[in-house]
A and B are shown apart, each in its own frame.
Chain A
Amino acid sequence: MYDIENYYNAGTIAEAVELLKEHPDARIISGGSDVLIKIREGKFAGTSLVCIRDIREIKGIERMESGDIYIGAGTVFSHITNDPVIQRWIPVLGEAVDQVGGPQVRNIGTVGGNICNGAVSADSVPTLFSLNAMLRLSDGKGGRTVPIRQFYLGPGRVDLQPGEILTHIVIPEREYMGYYGHYIKYSMRNAMDIATLSCSVVSKTDVSQGILEDIRITFGVAAPVPFRCEKTEAALKGMPVGEELYDTIEKMVREEIHPRDSWRASREFRLQIGGEIARRALIRTIELAGGDPS
């Protein structure tokens, strides 16, 4: 039995915005895989809810004529994984969200909820950072578009204004065309777990010359918000593919990320793992590009 005060169901984006303005204390719920847990824990006990699960406009994935990919915020993880556009153009995202919890939660949890929940361990987010995704927010008027990197304010806090809802995630064509990505979720077990540390590497390799042209490295759980390793990225660009490159990413990542000590894992431990998963993810992206990683 959940302690819920009121429940309002929105059928359209406009209705959702209207309901949120009418009930400023209400929280947005879609799949409920984060919100219901917090209600049960007592943190959100007695809350009111505006449900956006039935809004069709924010479901599904489309590649526009421009080549930009629009992902509805209400699209559940399993639909992202199985979507032909994702599988063809950005398979790394489908693979990443396929590592969320278990099959049941992947059938109800949405990518928009994963972002707006603000958790640093969210499985979709490091890859969206590495793809330089843009977020479309609606407020019933013009709305706004923000880069995902600016959306994260702190642990569990995102830049979602009262009366606003996230409607789409946009991946511009220039950010994925020619790039290959690999996401490693490091967790204590192989299912039903959250990341102890996670890393998404998206890279572009000149296979004929054996040169790493471009790279974006994003960590989850290595800082208060999902964290791009900009210094490491800058240092790696243009390096020849090979052991020196891998040793460099491993070493530099350990210097750049800021994981913390907690009972879940020590800082020292996360640094060891961080360097290693960045190295392995990079090697995999080079393999995916058709390069010879050695």
Chain B
Amino acid sequence: MVGKSVPRVDAYDKVTGRAKFTDDLIPDKCLTAKVYHAKIGNGIVKSIDTTEAEALDGVVKVVTFKDVPDHCYPTPGHPWSVELAHQDIADRNLLTGRVRYYGDDIAAVVAEDEVTASRALKLIKVEYEEYPVEIHPRKSMYGSRPPIHFDKKDNVLARSNYFIGNVEEGLKQSDTVVKRSYKTPIVQHCHIENPISYAYMEKGRIVVVTSTQIPHIVRRVIGQALGIPWGKIRVIKPYIGGGFGNKQDVLYEPLNAFLTTQVGGRPVKLDVSREETFCNTRTRHSIEYDLTAGVDQEGHLLAKDMMAYSNQGAYASHGHAIAANGLTAWRLQYACPNIRGEAYTVYTNTPVGGAMRAYGIPQAAFAIECFMDDIAAEIHMDPLEFRRRNLIEGYYEDAYLKPIAANTNGIFECLKKGADYIHWDEKRKEYANQTGFIRRGVGMSLFCYKTGVWPISLEIAGARLVLNQDGSMQLQLGATEIGQGADTVFSQMAAETLHMDVEDIHIQSFQDTDVTPFDTGAYASRQSFVTGTAVRQCAELMYQKILDYARTLLPNEKRTLSLDHGYIYAEKEPVISLEEVALESYYSLTNSSAITAEVSTQVKKNTIATGCCFAEVEVDIKLGKIRILNIINVHDSGKLINPQLAEMQVHGGMSMGMGYGLSEQLLLDEKTGRPLNGTLLDYKLMTALDTPDLKADFVELEDPMGPYGNKALGEPPAIPCAPAIRNAVLHATGVAFSEIPLTPQRLIEGFQKAGLL
């Protein structure tokens, strides 16, 4: 079953519209909540008057920052740490009178319907005292009066650094030293389904149904935010329309849970608009990098140094973990004796940075892989050859974080496949000396990526199997299907280990924290690796339990038993059907005991996946347009559980990576920090007509750490496209852009500056 392209287990329900999403489940007479957002970028609320709003017919309740608990809580979807030093930063209130970014949450209205709630918002009167707005981390880090958060006087949320060898010495020994700066934009996940939840009370407890990647974490954070025991909360996660890390954060669920307690436990819906999703949920951090490296005459890296400045925005969310992850990537994969890295994560008055597919690595990989091309250009070496000379072949491990290691390493095979597909050598020559206003180029980039979060954070997963009377089984997991195909591959894994058909594994797709085993959820490309380990252990346990029970029904059977597709075999002879065993387990008058298996597993492993992108582009210099002619991602993610789903995953990631490179950016007003283009019209997400044919390929090395030889694939496809495209434009035009996206505006400016126009 593993390794086969079985159809998605949810395909028919999703295609026919039968699959239920949160909005499909809204109960009758559900109230609607809307949030009042600040109309300034930094300051305090001097006064707030809600009397007119409260008087409006149909308004049930208005709450302001004065009415909510005054303690702060953390929001990121990390496993909780029992050690104080490693706990997430708690810097949020449900509503606030201290406005830290344009759109901050000041008050909320609960009304009988949406129109009434909207009208009530307009009746709320707020007076502010304004402070200066700062949206740039490299300015904000020198402090502001007052600071954005009182306990961080210089607005620096965190700083970290490391040294390997001696960078100064290494640079002195180098024949060529190159310094460059790079910058990545704020982007948004743009999942189709905006964050939505509804909350109600039942038997003194709060139930929240929400579109999330992390139901068990949402439960904990609601408990923390409201200051109530975690057992008083139940979180249910239906099908969700994408998350990409935005829903790996606890967004408006705590406020929604609070609001239902304010209206006697009546159901309250909080449906976030697209504009709010852009401004008030989470974004990918913009990070600025200053890089320095020294190489010898043969093009070997002798020393390298990274300084990174990450724009956190107004609240900590995932915080420094993002920039720190990029800092770790800086010391992996390429051999270099002297490495230094330092990163700052800085509070500013902008929308909040959080988790987004590949967690800091798209930013770092953009900087690193542009830099590799720029160094190669400086020493007149083919950029692919330059990388080959510096890449580590085979096993390598992280210098600091054990046991993070490339237990298998298919990067050279990936590069060969990519280069062959794009005809690298021919095209590097063919496009070398072009003139005219239409020019072509080829470029590439590569990356490595960890699988899960161990040892930086906890890895734990639970799984439960229940044998039905007919020999089929339910599989229950706390891990979540968020569109990536998790339910399908988990079903395949269970079927593989139990020697069953996938059709006989009924996976429970909705998580309910009252019922589903504990698992921290979908993020970090962890589930097929960590939850997969739990599924395998659970299936092995179930397998053994079935055989043990079967043996009680076969008192005279001395041969070794095994299970295969519905039958118990004694050596090679079928002796009893699984259905008979299952029926007996339920209804035997002498020894009935329904068979279930459950595990909760901590996984203390981590393994590095890798891959690359090769792109061929055509640049229309006078119109500032880039057309992608060919593009391929090649991934070493270990063994593929479902090749077709893997390919789809790569396509989706490539789309995200191309948008990152070419068109996506959340622009902010300098004076207020207000998003200028927070709509799907003005934020240029690529459409089908902007997307070239996508090619995905794989190198399948069996990774010894993965439960089925597999490792990370969920996030990696989003990493390498942007730098590959940028490097292809460099090849085509000779212009080395240092900032993405490569919008027409940026291209025309660059070409004018370079004298091409």
Residues of B contacting A196 with CB < 8 Å?
A: 744
B444 CB, min distance to chain A CBs, angstroms? 25
Among the 9-residue stretches A19-27, A133-141, A154-162, A268-276, the one with 4 or more Cβ atoms under 8 Å from chain B is A268-276
Asked if residues A1 and B115 are in contact (CB atoms below 8 Å), the reply is yes
Residues of B contacting A263 with CB < 8 Å?
A: 667, 676-677
Residue of A nearest to B691 (CB): A190
Asked if residues A3 and B744 are in contact (CB atoms below 8 Å), the reply is no
Segment 451-502 of B: residues with Cβ below 8 Å from A: none
- Contacts A1-B113, A3-B118 given: A272-B622 contact, CB under 8 Å? yes
Indicate whether B684 reaches chain A with its CB closer than 8 angstroms.
yes
- Contacts A269-B745, A276-B622 given: A3-B689 contact, CB under 8 Å? no
Residues of B contacting A272 with CB < 8 Å?
A: 622, 624, 748, 752, 757
Indicate whether A234 reaches chain B with its CB closer than 8 angstroms.
no
Contact with B along A270-285 (1 / 0, CB 8 A): 0011001100000000
B599 CB, min distance to chain A CBs, angstroms? 46
- Contacts A3-B115, A266-B745 given: A193-B681 contact, CB under 8 Å? yes
**How many angstroms from the CA of A46 to the CA of B115 in the assembled complex?**
9
Indicate whether B687 reaches chain A with its CB closer than 8 angstroms.
yes
B94 CB, min distance to chain A CBs, angstroms? 25
Indicate whether B690 reaches chain A with its CB closer than 8 angstroms.
yes
Asked if residues A1 and B114 are in contact (CB atoms below 8 Å), the reply is yes
- Contacts A266-B745, A273-B623, A276-B622 given: A189-B115 contact, CB under 8 Å? no
Residue of A nearest to B749 (CB): A269
**How many angstroms from the CA of A3 to the CA of B34 in the assembled complex?**
15
Residue of B nearest to A102 (CB): B687
Indicate whether B589 reaches chain A with its CB closer than 8 angstroms.
no
Indicate whether B663 reaches chain A with its CB closer than 8 angstroms.
yes
Asked if residues A191 and B749 are in contact (CB atoms below 8 Å), the reply is no
Residues of A contacting B680 with CB < 8 Å?
A: 192
A201 CB, min distance to chain B CBs, angstroms? 16
Indicate whether B377 reaches chain A with its CB closer than 8 angstroms.
no
Asked if residues B119 and A3 are in contact (CB atoms below 8 Å), the reply is yes
Contact partner of B684 among A42, A189, A268, A276, CB < 8 A? A189
Indicate whether A223 reaches chain B with its CB closer than 8 angstroms.
no
Most buried by B among A186, A190, A194, A268: A190
Segment 183-233 of A: residues with Cβ below 8 Å from B: 186, 188-194, 196
Indicate whether A146 reaches chain B with its CB closer than 8 angstroms.
no
**How many angstroms from the CA of A46 to the CA of B56 in the assembled complex?**
15
**How many angstroms from the CA of A49 to the CA of B686 in the assembled complex?**
34
Residues of A contacting B663 with CB < 8 Å?
A: 188-189
Indicate whether A235 reaches chain B with its CB closer than 8 angstroms.
no
**How many angstroms from the CA of A273 to the CA of B624 in the assembled complex?**
8
Indicate whether A265 reaches chain B with its CB closer than 8 angstroms.
yes
Asked if residues B667 and A191 are in contact (CB atoms below 8 Å), the reply is no
**How many angstroms from the CA of A264 to the CA of B744 in the assembled complex?**
11
- Contacts A3-B119, A263-B676 given: A192-B681 contact, CB under 8 Å? yes
Residues of B contacting A268 with CB < 8 Å?
A: 748-749, 752
Asked if residues A42 and B689 are in contact (CB atoms below 8 Å), the reply is no
Segment 1-52 of A: residues with Cβ below 8 Å from B: 1-3, 42, 45-46
**How many angstroms from the CA of A263 to the CA of B114 in the assembled complex?**
32
Indicate whether B688 reaches chain A with its CB closer than 8 angstroms.
yes
Indicate whether B743 reaches chain A with its CB closer than 8 angstroms.
yes
Q: How large is the interface on B (under 10, 10 to 19, 20 to 34, 35 or more residues)?
A: 20 to 34
Residue of B nearest to A279 (CB): B622
Residue of A nearest to B32 (CB): A1
Contact partner of A186 among B113, B623, B743, CB < 8 A? B623
A69 CB, min distance to chain B CBs, angstroms? 30
Residues of A contacting B743 with CB < 8 Å?
A: 188
Residue of A nearest to B747 (CB): A269
**How many angstroms from the CA of A127 to the CA of B477 in the assembled complex?**
59
**How many angstroms from the CA of A242 to the CA of B623 in the assembled complex?**
21
Asked if residues B681 and A194 are in contact (CB atoms below 8 Å), the reply is yes
Residues of B contacting A193 with CB < 8 Å?
A: 681, 684
B659 CB, min distance to chain A CBs, angstroms? 10
Q: How large is the interface on A (under 10, 10 to 19, 20 to 34, 35 or more residues)?
A: 20 to 34
Segment 246-267 of A: residues with Cβ below 8 Å from B: 263-266
Residues of A contacting B748 with CB < 8 Å?
A: 268-269, 272-273
Residues of A contacting B686 with CB < 8 Å?
A: 189
**How many angstroms from the CA of A288 to the CA of B684 in the assembled complex?**
33
**How many angstroms from the CA of A24 to the CA of B676 in the assembled complex?**
34
Contact with A along B664-697 (1 / 0, CB 8 A): 0001000000001100111010111110000000
Most buried by B among A2, A46, A264, A269: A269
- Contacts A190-B689, A263-B667 given: A276-B744 contact, CB under 8 Å? no
**How many angstroms from the CA of A3 to the CA of B690 in the assembled complex?**
35
Residue of A nearest to B757 (CB): A272
Residue of B nearest to A37 (CB): B681
Asked if residues A269 and B624 are in contact (CB atoms below 8 Å), the reply is yes
Asked if residues B118 and A190 are in contact (CB atoms below 8 Å), the reply is no
**How many angstroms from the CA of A188 to the CA of B686 in the assembled complex?**
10
A282 CB, min distance to chain B CBs, angstroms? 14
**How many angstroms from the CA of A3 to the CA of B115 in the assembled complex?**
6
Asked if residues A190 and B687 are in contact (CB atoms below 8 Å), the reply is yes
Residues of A contacting B623 with CB < 8 Å?
A: 186, 273, 276-277
Residue of A nearest to B687 (CB): A191
Contact partner of A191 among B113, B119, B689, CB < 8 A? B689
Segment 727-757 of B: residues with Cβ below 8 Å from A: 743-745, 748-749, 752, 757
**How many angstroms from the CA of A152 to the CA of B667 in the assembled complex?**
31
Residues of B contacting A277 with CB < 8 Å?
A: 623
**How many angstroms from the CA of A264 to the CA of B676 in the assembled complex?**
9
B272 CB, min distance to chain A CBs, angstroms? 14
Residues of A contacting B688 with CB < 8 Å?
A: 191
B739 CB, min distance to chain A CBs, angstroms? 16
Asked if residues A189 and B757 are in contact (CB atoms below 8 Å), the reply is no
Residues of A contacting B624 with CB < 8 Å?
A: 269, 272-273
Residue of B nearest to A184 (CB): B623
A259 CB, min distance to chain B CBs, angstroms? 13
B671 CB, min distance to chain A CBs, angstroms? 12
Residues of B contacting A276 with CB < 8 Å?
A: 622-623
A36 CB, min distance to chain B CBs, angstroms? 14
Residues of A contacting B677 with CB < 8 Å?
A: 263
**How many angstroms from the CA of A102 to the CA of B687 in the assembled complex?**
10
Residue of A nearest to B667 (CB): A263
Most buried by A among B663, B682, B744: B744
Residues of A contacting B689 with CB < 8 Å?
A: 189-191
Residue of B nearest to A3 (CB): B115
Contact partner of B118 among A42, A264, A265, CB < 8 A? A42
**How many angstroms from the CA of A33 to the CA of B449 in the assembled complex?**
44
Asked if residues A192 and B745 are in contact (CB atoms below 8 Å), the reply is no
Asked if residues B744 and A188 are in contact (CB atoms below 8 Å), the reply is yes
**How many angstroms from the CA of A196 to the CA of B682 in the assembled complex?**
11
**How many angstroms from the CA of A183 to the CA of B757 in the assembled complex?**
24
A92 CB, min distance to chain B CBs, angstroms? 20
B376 CB, min distance to chain A CBs, angstroms? 31
Residues of B contacting A102 with CB < 8 Å?
A: 687
Contact partner of B687 among A1, A189, A273, CB < 8 A? A189
**How many angstroms from the CA of A99 to the CA of B122 in the assembled complex?**
37
Asked if residues A190 and B114 are in contact (CB atoms below 8 Å), the reply is no
A-B contact pairs, 29 of them (CB 8 A): A1-B113, A1-B114, A1-B115, A2-B115, A3-B119, A42-B118, A42-B122, A45-B119, A188-B684, A188-B743, A189-B663, A189-B686, A189-B687, A189-B690, A191-B688, A192-B680, A192-B687, A193-B684, A263-B676, A263-B677, A265-B744, A268-B748, A269-B744, A269-B745, A269-B748, A272-B748, A272-B752, A273-B744, A273-B748
Per CB-CB distance, the 5 closest pairs between chain A and chain B, nearest first, are A190-B689, A1-B114, A191-B689, A191-B687, A276-B622
Q: A1-B113, A189-B684 are in contact. List 12 more A-B contacts (CB 8 A).
A: A2-B115, A3-B115, A42-B118, A188-B684, A190-B687, A190-B690, A191-B687, A263-B667, A263-B677, A272-B748, A272-B752, A276-B622
